[in-house]
Chains A and B, each alone.
Chain A
Amino acid sequence: MQFDQLLQYTLSGLSTGAIYALIGIGFSIIYNATGIINFAQGEFVMLGGMLTLFFLETLKLPLWAAIPCAVAASTAAGMLFERLAIRPLRRPTPINLVIITIGGSILIRGLAMLLWGKDTHSIPSFSGDDPIAVGGATILPQHLWIMGITLLIVAANKFYFYHTISGKAMRACSYNRRAAGLVGIDVRRMVLFSFIISSAMGSVAGIIVAPLTMTAYDVGVMLGLKGFCAAIIGGMSSGGATVVGGLLLGVLESLGAGLISSGYKDAIAFIVLLLILFVRPQGLFGKAQSERV
C-alpha cells in the first residue's frame, strides 16, 4: 500500500464527504426546527443538478447565471413542498410525516423523470478539468470548489444561527417550540424558513457535485441517505459535528472502495451508521441525554 494512493483516496473522500455534510446539515436544520426527518431532502439535491442542466441547455444561460437560477428554483420547490404537504397536516404523527415526505420524494422524482427523462447527464466543471498535483496525488479544480463552497456555507450557517435574530429564533424553536411561540416567535414561519434553507443547501450540494459524478432523476435517494448518515454521526447538529461526520463518512467510503471492494462501497456508510447507532446513538460527539417519558 503506497502512501500516494492512500492520500488520493483520502482527498477524493474528503470532497464527497463535504457533499454528505451539506446534505446532512440540511436534514439537521429541518429536524431541529420541526422534529421532521425530511426524506425528500435528497430530491432537492437532485433538483439542483437537474435544474442547472435545464437552465444551461434548454434556456442557454451561462453557467454563472444558471447556478443561482437553479438554487432559486429548487428553493421555491422546497417552499412549495412545505406549504402544500407539511403545513396542512392536521394530526401529524411521526410515522405520517415519514410517509408524507417519502410520498413527496416519489412525486418530485417522478416529475423530474417526466421532464428530463431517465438518462444520466453531466454538467461542465466550474473551472476546467486540469488536475492539480498535491503531494503524490492529484485533485481536480472541482474538488477545490466543493471544499471552498462547503466551508463558505458552513460559516454562513454559523453566522446565521448565532448572530441574526431569525437564526436565534430558529434555535429557540429547536429547544422548545411552544416556549418559542410564547415569546412571540412565529413558529410556522420558522418551519418554512428551515425548509427554505435546507432545500437551498441541498441544491447547492447537488450542483457542485454534478460535474464529478453526473446527475440523473434518481441520484437523490442514495445521496440523501448518505447525508442522513452524516447527520446521525454528527448527532443531528447543524454545524461542525455534522461536517466532521460527513467528511469521516466520505473518507471511510473512499478508502473502503479503494482498499476492500468498490461493490461494497455503499454498504460501508450504513455499517458505520449502525455501529454509531448501537454504540453512541447521541452521535459521535454528543453528550448522552437523559430521556423523559
Chain B
Amino acid sequence: MHRDLLKFMLFAAMILAAPLAFQGGYLMNVLVFVGINTMLAIGLNLLLGYCGQISLGHAGFFGLGAYLSGVLSTTYGWNPWQAMPLAAVVVGSLAFLIGFPILKLKGHYLAMATLGMGIIMYIVFNETIDLTGGPSGLSGIPNLSIGSLDFDSDVSSYYLIWSFTLATILLTLNLANSRVGRALRAVHDSEVAARVMGVNARLLKVQIFALSAVISSLAGSLYAHTMTFISPASFGFNFSIELLTMVVIGGLGSIYGSFLGAALLTLLPEFLRAAQDYDIIIYGGLLMLMVMFMPGGLVRGVPDLFRRLLKKGGDRHA
C-alpha cells in the first residue's frame, strides 16, 4: 500500500510539474486532452479490465455528460458547477437502469448491445436540434470558474482537468485495492465462483457500469466547459472504439496503463498530422501490430521487451 501511494505521489508530481517544462503553448492544449482521455480510459478500464465487461458505447455517456452540462449552462443559464454534478447524477442513474438488462448479456452480445446504445445516443444528439443544435453543434458554453479565477487559459485548464483526473486515479486505485476491487476481479475470473463466495455479481456489475458512466459524464462536462463548443461528431462510434483501444493498448486492469494508452493515442494523431492522409492507415496498422505483438498492453509489453532484449544482450556477452 505504501508503495502504491509513493507511486501515485511521484506520478502526481510529474503531472503537476509538466507545465513548467512545456511553458504553455500548443502542447499544453494536447495535454489537457490527455487528461480527459485518461479519465475516460480509466472509467472504461474499471468495467473492462477489472470487471471483464466490454462496452462499445462509452462515448455516449461522455457525450451525454457534455451535452447535459452544456445545454444546462448555456441555454438555461445554470452555473457550470451545478450543471456538472447534475449531469453526472442523471447519466449515472440512466446507466444504472440500462445496466440491469444490458449486463445480463455476455461477450459479443454485450459488445453489440452497448454499441447499439452508444449509436442511439449519438443519433439523439444529432436529431434533437432544438436542444443540442444538431450536427452543427452547441457553442458558447461557459468556462468553469472559482471566484475570479476563470479556467480559460491552457495552463489553468490543464490544472483543472488534471486535478479531476488525479482524483479519479486515486479513487480507482483505492477501489481496486478494496474489498470491492477483489470482488470485481473475482467476477472477472469466474462469475459463478464469485457468486458462490457471496458476491452479488449482478448488482456489482451494474454498479461499476454506473460508476464508469459517471466518470465518463464528468469527463464530458469538463470537455464541454473547456472546449466551450461541442458537436455530436466527438461522441460517435469511432470514439467509443478509440477509448477501447486506449484501455487495451495501455493494458487491461492497469490504471497507469490507461494513462499510457490515453497519452499514446492522444499524442499520436498530433505527430501523425505530418503524415496527413496516411495517419488513418498508420493508426489502423499500429492498432493491429500492438495487439499482435503486445497482447498484454504497454504496461506488460514494454518491460517484457526490455527483459528479452537484456537477455539476448546477456547471451551475446556470455
Measured CA separation A270–B244 after assembly (Å): 20
B79 to A: closest C-beta gap in Å? 33
B87 to A: closest C-beta gap in Å? 22
Q: Which residues of A contact B126 (CB under 8 A)?
A: 263
A228 proximal to B (CB < 8 A): yes
Measured CA separation A268–B89 after assembly (Å): 27
Given contacts A113-B277, A266-B123, contact A232 B291 (CB under 8 A): no
Q: Which residues of B contact A264 (CB under 8 A)?
A: 123, 127
Once A and B bind, how many residue pairs between them come within 8 Å at the CB atom? 122
Residue contact B116 to A274, C-beta cutoff 8 Å: yes
A189 to B: closest C-beta gap in Å? 21
Measured CA separation A225–B54 after assembly (Å): 17
Given contacts A264-B123, A274-B116, contact A98 B54 (CB under 8 A): yes
Chain A, interface size category, equals 35 or more
* B101-138 contact mask (Cβ, 8 Å, vs A): 1 or 0: 11011011101110111011001101100000000000
B19 proximal to A (CB < 8 A): no
Q: Which residues of B contact A96 (CB under 8 A)?
A: 248, 291, 295
Residue contact B109 to A277, C-beta cutoff 8 Å: yes
A82 to B: closest C-beta gap in Å? 13
* B24-40 contact mask (Cβ, 8 Å, vs A): 1 or 0: 00000000000000000
Q: Which residues of B contact A263 (CB under 8 A)?
A: 123, 126-127
**Contact partner, A89, options B105, B286, B292, Cβ 8 Å:** B292
A227 to B: closest C-beta gap in Å? 12
* A26-43 contact mask (Cβ, 8 Å, vs B): 1 or 0: 000001000001000000
Residue contact A102 to B112, C-beta cutoff 8 Å: no
By secondary structure, the B interface counts as helix
Residue contact B295 to A267, C-beta cutoff 8 Å: no
* B47-86 contact mask (Cβ, 8 Å, vs A): 1 or 0: 0100000100000000000000000000000000000000
Given contacts A103-B284, A263-B127, contact A98 B292 (CB under 8 A): no
Given contacts A106-B283, A113-B277, A293-B190, contact A100 B291 (CB under 8 A): yes
Residue contact B237 to A95, C-beta cutoff 8 Å: no
B side interface size, CB within 8 A: 42
**Contact partner, B124, options A93, A113, A267, A274, Cβ 8 Å:** A267
A59 to B: closest C-beta gap in Å? 24
By secondary structure, the A interface counts as helix
Residue contact B101 to A278, C-beta cutoff 8 Å: yes
Residue contact B280 to A109, C-beta cutoff 8 Å: yes
- Which B residues are closer than 8 A to A by beta carbons? 48, 54, 101-102, 104-105, 107-109, 111-113, 115-117, 119-120, 123-124, 126-127, 190, 192, 237, 241, 244-245, 248, 252, 277-278, 280-281, 283-288, 291-292, 295
12 cross-chain CB contacts under 8 A: A37-B112, A96-B291, A100-B288, A103-B285, A103-B287, A106-B284, A109-B280, A229-B112, A274-B102, A274-B117, A277-B112, A293-B190
Task: Identify 9 new A-B residue pairs, CB closer than 8 A, beyond the known A103-B284, A273-B112.
Answer: A90-B292, A91-B295, A103-B291, A104-B288, A113-B277, A114-B277, A225-B237, A228-B112, A277-B116
